Amino acid sequence: MGSIIKETSALSSVRLLSLKEATVPRWAARHFPESKPWNPHAPVKIIVVGAGIAGVSNAVLLSHKVPNAEITIYDRLSQIGGTWAANRYPGVRCDVPAHVYQLSFEPSPEWSEYYPKGAEIQAYYERIIEKHGLKDRVKLNHQVLKASWLSEAAQWAVEIQDTTTNDIFVDTANFLINCQGRISQPKYPDIAGLYDIYKGTLLHTARWPSDVDLAGKSIAIIGNGASGQQLVPNVAPIVHHIDHYVRTKTWVTPTFVKDLHQATKDAPGGPEYSEEQRNTFKNDPASLLAHRRELESKFHFPLGGGDKLGSPENAALREKIIETMRERLDGDEEWLQRVLPDYAPGCKRLTPAPGYLETLKSDKIDYVTAGIREVTSEGIIANDGTHRKVDIIILATGFESGFTTRFPIFGKVPGLDLRTKWAADGPIGYPESYLGVMAPGFPNYFFVLQAQGNARGGSVPLQAELAAAYIAKAIRKIQSQSYVSLDPLEEAAQDFNDINGAFFEGSVIGDNCNSWFKQKHVLKESDTAAPRDPINRVVTAWPGTHHHRAEALRDPRWEDFIFERRRGGAQKNRFEYFGNGSTAREGSGDPADLIRYVRTAGEIDLAVLHENWNE
């Protein structure tokens, strides 16, 4: 009985203590006398790397979607436009219709051709930046050298070089968005003698000088990707001779997707938009909308067997493309066999290449597939021993893989560079992204149009816009609540990449071709009980369609993230951001801010009513 009494006495004392504490409420000890109105849009700094399509679209959208954001865009080039500022070689243009290859929220009625020239695309994105008041926020001729996450400050420290003065400085930001582009760093081939022995002029299509004169010259064009295919027919009329060195042959399709206007040698831009058509688009928005919708609908198509290696559908596609190539070669079977690839269509990006095959048959061109042994002071020696002298060597050799950062970036783990983590021979072996926008261990870091950033269907600009909407939600989450950072769980990224890897098993992309769609994945013993040769890991694509990706990004899975709380009040009470019970909006002084939810009944979409953060 004694022990029971002691226990009872103990319980009584606990009850008495609780009653005593009740006179001093728990919340009183955690009151924040300095609390202010809840501001769901705390000031944030955002650094965007790159002023191409991804950088422009994200900077513009974030400037509207994230209030109170200070945005700075750094680009190493001297013009806005990314690849369309860098690539100025003769004949450069897009093989996607202009009215699709634009931002969905900035349709232009002014496109001059169905397939626009590179300069026209560059000028379009320059206008967009100016229209949205971001021109002063773009720092051109600025190369990002390194980025490091400062855990104590919960900020990114970004080392940048002003290439006009060579001065190096550090800028800091709460969020870092990498829009460097996946086809932005020129690829220079490793060929003996090319850089130290050759005495002629050496060019790369992505670094085309404005003062180069090809007229009457003997030139070599190395490479037959998109840039090589556009360059050959555009310079052939003015040069004396072309030696065209081809390592991997390419499939030449009628159009990028079916049912589009087919560009030709004589009209590589397809139909021109007349002044009358452009005025109609300008003065009749419904007409422009109808035209855009007609084109956009052609870029959404269901998943099918054509993407599977060895499928009947892919075989049928192959025969259809062969027929197109045969027609462009005027039925010349000997030439057809010379240019036919030995891999499945879709392993590399399909290209329409108007005028390319037709020009190859010219007496001005030597089509060389023997490979290059070395470069001499005067020209190129092929593997068959033939020495061809040339005045100019043009590298149409494409770009380095762009599915990991171009500069060193260090996250939460000291000394661990994301490039090392994602390298083919690194601890993971491929870019292990989270939903194609983030990387585990790198808080508040986002990337656009890199690993798994492009779904089947829709345009490249549209894919970049989807990423911007997702990034904006993540930033607003940090802005509005008691957090300073978020980054995805490693296991969440692993699960996503397992889904991605399984989705592309048996894909045509895995066939025997060189392509920036994929990366060699060096399997570790932990990957399989029987290690085998490196496999191709698809790195460019989302495992599904555009709308599949849009649905997945529409509602972030916050449970997949590690959140770091703000120091101070947030460590004591997760709801410290509630402030004094009012909001900053109520102190704006504008009565209209308080009644944004009152709208004309016909303008209300019940499916999203009261879900808009800006209401």
Per-residue pLDDT tens over the stretch 308-357: 999 999 999 999 999 999 999 999 999 999 999 999 999 988 899 999 99
Rounded mean pLDDT, 55-77:
97
Give the whole-angstrom CA distance, residue 435 versus residue 556: 10
Instruction: Give which of 474, 433, 480 is closest to 562, Cα–Cα.
Output: 474
Q: Which long-range contacts (CB under 8 A, 24 or more apart) does 301-310 make?
A: 301/257, 301/456, 301/457, 302/545, 303/456, 303/544, 303/545, 306/346, 306/508, 307/346, 307/507, 307/508, 308/506, 308/507, 308/508, 309/344, 309/506, 309/507, 309/508, 309/510, 309/511, 310/344, 310/506
Chain centre distance of CA 435: 13
pLDDT value for 1: 37
Percent above pLDDT 70 for the chain: 92
Rounded mean pLDDT, 39-56:
96
- List, for residues 415-465, the tens digit of each pLDDT value: 999 999 998 888 888 899 999 999 999 999 999 999 999 999 999 999 999
Look at strands 142-150 and 409-410 and give their pairing: parallel
Name the residue with higher pLDDT: 35 or 55.
55
pLDDT value for 530: 41
Flag whether pLDDT at 30 surpasses 60: no
| Contact between residue 74 and residue 144 where contact means Cβ atoms under 8 Å apart | yes
Number of other residues whose CB lies within 10 A of the CB of residue 46 = 25
Name the token pair of 488: 């995805």
- List, for residues 581-593, the tens digit of each pLDDT value: 999 888 888 888 8
Mean pLDDT, the chain, integer: 90
Question: What sign results for the dihedral spanned by CA atoms 596, 600, 604, 609?
Answer: positive
**433 secondary structure, DSSP code:** -
The whole-model pTM stands at 0.92
Instruction: Give which of 381, 389, 373, 393 is closest to 195, Cα–Cα.
Output: 393
Q: What is the residue type of 153?
A: A
Segments in 329-422 forming alpha helices (H): 333-339, 356-360, 418-422
Confidence label for 24 from pLDDT (cuts 50, 70 and 90) = low
Instruction: Give which of 470, 541, 461, 471 is closest to 53, Cα–Cα.
Output: 461
Flag whether pLDDT at 235 surpasses 90: yes
Name the token pair of 448: 């656009």
pLDDT value for 19: 39
| Contact between residue 548 and residue 556 where contact means Cβ atoms under 8 Å apart | no
Instruction: Give which of 178, 248, 274, 229 is closest to 394, Cα–Cα.
Output: 229
pLDDT value for 349: 87
Kindly provide the residue ranges of all beta strands, DSSP E only, lying in 20-111, ordered along the sequence.
Answer: 44-49, 69-74
Give the whole-angstrom CA distance, residue 144 versus residue 323: 47
pLDDT value for 439: 97
| Contact between residue 244 and residue 236 where contact means Cβ atoms under 8 Å apart | no
Name the token pair of 578: 């509630």
Instruction: Give which of 256, 217, 258, 220 is closest to 238, Cα–Cα.
Output: 217
Rounded mean pLDDT, 5-21:
37
- List, for residues 175-232, the tens digit of each pLDDT value: 999 999 877 789 999 999 999 999 999 999 999 998 999 999 999 999 999 999 999 9
Confidence label for 540 from pLDDT (cuts 50, 70 and 90) = confident
Give the whole-angstrom CA distance, residue 256 versus residue 198: 37
For the chain, the C-alpha Rg in angstroms (whole number) is: 29
pLDDT value for 608: 86
- List, for residues 473-519, the tens digit of each pLDDT value: 999 999 999 999 999 999 999 999 999 999 999 999 888 888 888 88
pLDDT value for 525: 53
Flag whether pLDDT at 526 surpasses 60: no
Q: Is 456 helix (H, G, I), strand (E, B) or coil?
A: strand
Between the alpha carbon of residue 439 and those of residues 19, 532, 585, the distances in Å are: 50, 27, 34
Q: Which residues contact 267 (CB under 8 A, 6 or more apart)?
A: 354
Flag whether pLDDT at 118 surpasses 80: yes
* Range name among 11-25, 275-289, 577-591 with the lowest pLDDT average: 11-25
| Contact between residue 256 and residue 95 where contact means Cβ atoms under 8 Å apart | yes
Confidence label for 92 from pLDDT (cuts 50, 70 and 90) = very high
Flag whether pLDDT at 306 surpasses 90: no
* Range name among 140-144, 216-220, 406-410, 570-574 with the lowest pLDDT average: 570-574
Q: Is 21 helix (H, G, I), strand (E, B) or coil?
A: helix
Give the whole-angstrom CA distance, residue 478 versus residue 222: 49
pLDDT value for 495: 97
Confidence label for 22 from pLDDT (cuts 50, 70 and 90) = very low
Which of 33-37, 368-372, 606-610, 611-615 has the highest mean predicted lDDT (pLDDT)? 368-372
Kindly provide the residue ranges of all beta strands, DSSP E only, lying in 88-153, ordered along the sequence.
Answer: 138-139, 142-150
Percent above pLDDT 90 for the chain: 74
Flag whether pLDDT at 31 surpasses 80: no
Residue with tokens 């042994």: 373
- List, for residues 247-278, the tens digit of each pLDDT value: 999 999 999 888 899 999 999 999 999 999 99
pLDDT value for 8: 33
pLDDT value for 591: 87
